[in-house]
């Protein structure tokens, strides 16, 4: 079981609600499961969830490294998983 993200980098010049990466929840056999994702409070108001996407919730996130903790609850089956990602916000 794992949560994966398609991208870990976003520009500090990205618009509000820009997609950082798509989140995917896999079960133990490697099958993709539909899921509801949430973030913990450590996202500091810079990042959020929209559908299956991790987004930058505001424009002009300062350049740097940001830790995010994602929780995923599978739909229609009893599966919950968590993952930590480091998002790189570049100056360009």
Q: What span, in angstroms and rounded, lies between the C-alpha atoms of 63 and 81?
A: 29
Long-range contacts of 15-18 (CB under 8 A, 24+ apart): 15/59, 16/56, 16/57, 16/58, 16/59, 17/50, 17/55, 17/56, 17/57, 18/55, 18/56
DSSP SS3 for 74? strand
47: CATH: 2.60.40.60
CB 6 within 8 A of CB 53: no
Domains in the chain: how many in total? 1
pLDDT at 40: 86
Question: What is the b/e burial string over 34-53, where b = at least 16 CB atoms within 10 angstroms of the residue's CB?
Answer: ebebeeeeebeebbbbeebb
| Predicted TM-score (pTM) of this structure | 0.92
Give the tens place of pLDDT for each residue, 27-83.
999 999 999 999 987 666 899 999 999 999 999 899 999 999 999 999 999 999 999
| Confidence label for 17 from pLDDT (cuts 50, 70 and 90) | very high
pLDDT at 18: 97
pLDDT at 35: 97
Range of the domain at 62: 2-90
Is pLDDT above 80 for 84? yes
């Amino acid at each position: 079981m794992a949560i994966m993200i398609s991208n870990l980098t976003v520009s500090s010049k990205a618009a509000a609600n820009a997609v950082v990466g798509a989140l995917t929840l896999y079960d133990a056999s490697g099958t993709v499961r539909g899921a509801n994702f949430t973030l913990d409070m450590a996202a500091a108001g810079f990042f959020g969830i929209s559908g299956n996407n991790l987004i930058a919730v505001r424009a002009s996130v300062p350049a740097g490294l940001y830790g995010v903790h994602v929780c995923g609850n599978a739909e229609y089956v009893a599966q919950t998983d968590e993952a930590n990602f480091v998002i790189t916000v570049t100056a360009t």
